[in-house]
Amino acid sequence: MAVQIVQDGSIWAPRKVLARLLDRRNDRSSPAGKPVFTARERDVLGLLHAGRSNREIAKALNIDESTVKAHIGRLMRKVGVSNRIALTMHPLTKLQ
């Protein structure tokens, strides 16, 4: 598939690389330096703080489990933590 994409004149890169590039490009922080979240990220974060698993979050929001993982990864980068537990333990008042 990558070969076909390149042959068609487009650029191919692994999904993780593209996601990181887009995250950096779209890094949205408020003037005070607090991260700004999308509505969906706030939904995921709320369910994560409620102790829900990725599967439960996906079901509640009617999205794919891999999408939940992507949201959690972006949330961790925005907040500056390295794992899900640290994100869950981070006070909600600092995140909203």
Rounded-to-integer distance, Cα 47 and Cα 16, Å: 24
The identity of residue 64, as a single letter, is: D
Evaluate whether residue 66 is within a structural domain: yes
For residue 90, the enclosing domain spans 36-95
Evaluate whether residue 72 is within a structural domain: yes
Evaluate whether residue 27 is within a structural domain: no
Please provide the DSSP assignment of 5-69 as one string.
HHHTT-----HHHHHHHHHHHT--B-TTS-B---HHHHHHHHHHHTT--HHHHHHHHT--HHHHH
Rounded-to-integer distance, Cα 14 and Cα 22, Å: 13
Evaluate whether residue 29 is within a structural domain: no
Does this model's pTM top 0.85? My answer is no
What does the pLDDT read at residue 75?
92
Rounded-to-integer distance, Cα 92 and Cα 89, Å: 9
Rounded-to-integer distance, Cα 38 and Cα 42, Å: 6
Evaluate whether residue 26 is within a structural domain: no
pLDDT band at 13 (very low <50, low <70, confident <90, very high): confident
What does the pLDDT read at residue 28?
54
Q: Domain with 84 in it: what CATH number?
A: 1.10.10.10
pLDDT tens digit sequence for 70-79: 999 999 988 8
Count of domains in the chain?
1
